[in-house]
């Protein structure tokens, strides 16, 4: 865990943080409300002899007492989807409504895409994009199993995303406008250490900087394809400020967006306003960091942004 030494003065209780990072992660599922209610899913797990805990902050997140919730009948029926507890945060914060146009910029394997669709009652459109074709096949599998039909899949680099394949060649991109966009960005995955103990094996600052450059490009494109007044959520499962607050700071200076506050009824701390001598736009404080010791989960970073009229 030497990599985490750089966060010693940043994390609120560093010893508790390290101890949590060394423990295994309780596995969670999200109830697929297109197919079942939380009570039906609890009953189905209990019928298999698996006890289930509920979490306080989200009625659709359950913690069944099994290492492999994805190989149970509730999952096979499409009633539940194995999804880390903190992974349910970004779609919840984005708050898509039935009938809206939503872009999931980095969507595979589709945990959040299918959550967005369920929140929209499967009405409207989710454009689920990922630049990795292999991972998109997992997304298709998940949408099919969960009975999601309002999703169209695209395979593009989100930094240059265009809806041209679906449009008249003579139209330009100017009127491509989503109501909401989720940027669940590729990242260095430091916050997944409890689920994947090898997560830090190839960690290096060069990779952090390289992925931060991709993140900035994707978030900029998100700002360009969202209508004024539309909402963007930017999230990562990493702690590195270079991939979180610094990305927001960069894009805030380039695009007409602002960071907005939101309620997160889970223990968390605010976004950082400086790291390693670099100061960030004070707005980034409205982002939220969830550390593993806060709620016995993985680590996560989530910011909510609104596109302003230019
Ligand atoms: C954190 S994962 C997304 C997880 C997904 N949102 C979910 O909940 O199942 C990040 C994804 O970004 C994709 N990705 C990486 N670079 C990309 C790019 N330039 N454009 C689009 N997708 C990209 C990766 O293939 C990966 O699937």
What is the value of ipTM here, to two decimals? 1.00
What is the rounded distance in angstroms from the CA atom of residue 258 to the CA atom of residue 115? Answer: 25
Say what the pLDDT of residue 309 is: 80
* Ligand 1 site, residue 158, Cβ cutoff 6 A: yes
Degrees (nearest 5) of the Cα angle 297, 301, 305? 140
Token code pair at residue 210: 């390289």
If one residue of 92, 129, 131, 189 were mutated to test the ligand 1 pocket, choosing by the most ligand atoms within 8 A of its CB, it would be 131
Provide the β-strand partners of residue 279.
274
147 pLDDT exceeds 90?
Answer: yes
What is the rounded distance in angstroms from the CA atom of residue 160 to the CA atom of residue 157? Answer: 6
Q: Tens of pLDDT along 72-115?
A: 999 999 999 999 999 999 999 999 999 999 999 999 999 999 99
For the chain, percent of residues with pLDDT exceeding 70: 95
Say what the pLDDT of residue 1 is: 81
**Residue having the nearest C-alpha atom to atom 17 of ligand 1:** 131
Say what the pLDDT of residue 168 is: 56
Domain positions in the chain are 2-13+85-307, 26-83
Q: Tell which residue, 149, 87, 115, has the closest CA to residue 302.
A: 87
* Ligand 1 site, residue 200, Cβ cutoff 6 A: no
For the 2-13+85-307 domain, the top CATH level (class) is: alpha beta
176 pLDDT exceeds 60?
Answer: yes
The pTM of this model reads 0.96
Mean pLDDT value of segment 278-284:
98
Q: Is the domain covering 26-83 a CATH 1.10.3720.10 domain? A: no
Active centre residues (catalytic) = 237
Token code pair at residue 122: 């499967």
What is the rounded distance in angstroms from the CA atom of residue 310 to the CA atom of residue 307? Answer: 9
Say what the pLDDT of residue 4 is: 96
Say what the pLDDT of residue 164 is: 61
* Peptide bond connecting 109 to the previous residue in cis, omega within 30 degrees of 0: yes
What is the rounded distance in angstroms from the CA atom of residue 70 to the CA atom of residue 77? Answer: 11
Q: Is the model more confident about 163 or about 296?
A: 296
* Ligand 1 site, residue 107, Cβ cutoff 6 A: yes
Q: How many angstroms is it from 303 CA to the middle of ligand 1?
A: 17
Contact between 14 and 8 under an 8 Å Cβ cutoff? The reply is: yes
**Nearest atom of ligand 1 to the alpha carbon of 139:** 9
Say what the pLDDT of residue 166 is: 52
**Helix 133-146 crosses helix 111-119 at what angle (to 10 degrees)?**
40
Say if 2-13+85-307 and 26-83 have the same CATH topology.
Answer: no
Q: Tens of pLDDT along 31-72?
A: 999 999 999 999 999 999 999 999 999 999 999 999 999 999
**Residue having the nearest C-alpha atom to atom 6 of ligand 1:** 107
């Amino acid at each position: 865990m030497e990599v985490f030494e750089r966060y010693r003065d940043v994390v609120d209780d560093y010893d508790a943080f390290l101890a949590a990072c060394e423990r295994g992660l309780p596995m969670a599922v999200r109830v697929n409300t297109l197919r079942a209610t939380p009570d039906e899913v609890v009953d189905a797990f209990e019928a298999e002899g698996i006890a289930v805990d509920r979490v306080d902050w989200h009625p659709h997140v359950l913690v069944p007492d099994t290492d492999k919730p994805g190989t149970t009948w509730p999952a096979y029926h499409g009633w539940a989807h194995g999804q880390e507890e903190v992974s349910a945060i970004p779609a919840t914060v984005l708050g898509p409504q039935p009938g809206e146009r939503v872009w999931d910029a980095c969507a595979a394997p589709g945990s959040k895409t299918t959550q967005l669709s369920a929140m929209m009652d499967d009405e409207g459109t989710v454009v689920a994009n990922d630049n990795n074709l292999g991972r998109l096949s997992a997304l298709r599998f998940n949408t099919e199993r969960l009975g999601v039909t309002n999703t169209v899949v695209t395979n593009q680099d989100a930094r240059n995303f265009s809806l041209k394949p679906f449009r008249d060649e003579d139209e330009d991109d100017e009127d491509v406008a989503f109501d909401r966009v989720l940027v669940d960005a590729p990242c260095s995955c430091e916050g997944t250490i409890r689920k994947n103990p090898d997560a830090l094996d190839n960690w290096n600052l060069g990779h952090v900087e390289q992925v931060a450059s991709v993140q900035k490009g994707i978030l900029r494109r998100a700002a360009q394809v969202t209508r004024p007044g539309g909402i963007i959520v930017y999230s990562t499962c990493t702690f590195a400020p270079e991939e979180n607050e610094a990305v927001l700071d960069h894009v805030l200076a380039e695009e007409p967006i602002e960071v907005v506050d939101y309620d997160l009824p889970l223990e968390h701390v605010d976004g950082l306003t400086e790291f390693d001598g670099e100061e960030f736009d004070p707005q980034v404080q409205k982002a939220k960091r969830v550390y593993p010791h806060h709620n016995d989960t993985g680590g996560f970073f989530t910011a909510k942004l609104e596109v302003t009229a230019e």
